Amino acid sequence: MDWNWTFLAWCICILVPVLVLPRRQRYSTTVPLPPGPPGWPVFGSMFSLGSMPYKTIADLRKDYGPVVWLRIGSINTVALLTADAATELFKNHDQNFAERKITEAMRLMAFIRRLCC
């Protein structure tokens, strides 16, 4: 009788995320994202980057254009592959980058830089 409850608990733990997560993801993206390579559900595009990721990302410009959307693990990333795209982004959306929060790592690096130099 005990194994029936264990089996039922495992079924619930597996079926609930399978049924709930696709619905949540379907409604979460309302803004169209830039094109990018398809990725695995948990790992994203990590496996398609190869041994030299900087060259692989630069080669994505041929297929997807100057702005590429990548999922690296669970982190969503936008890669700007040309100087013109970067200039346009920072010209038109500079307010979004002006209020960047200062993290503890930034403070630590500034402290270390003052000590060394």
Give the model's pLDDT for residue 82.
92
- N- to C-terminal Cα separation, the chain: 70
Which of these ranges, 9-13, 22-26, 34-38, has the smallest mean pLDDT? Answer: 22-26
What's the token pair of residue 71?
């999922």
What are the boundaries of each domain within the chain?
2-116
% the chain with pLDDT above 90: 9
* Cβ atoms of residues 77 and 33 within 8 Å: no
Task: Give residue-wise pLDDT tens across range 37-89.
Answer: 888 777 888 888 888 888 988 898 999 999 999 888 878 888 899 999 989 88
**Looking up tokens 């169209």, which residue turns up?**
32
| Most confidently modeled range among 18-22, 89-93, 106-110 | 89-93
Please classify residue 66 by burial: count the beta carbons closer than 10 Å to its beta carbon, then call 0-12 exposed, 13-18 middle and 19+ buried. Answer: middle
Give the model's pLDDT for residue 25.
52
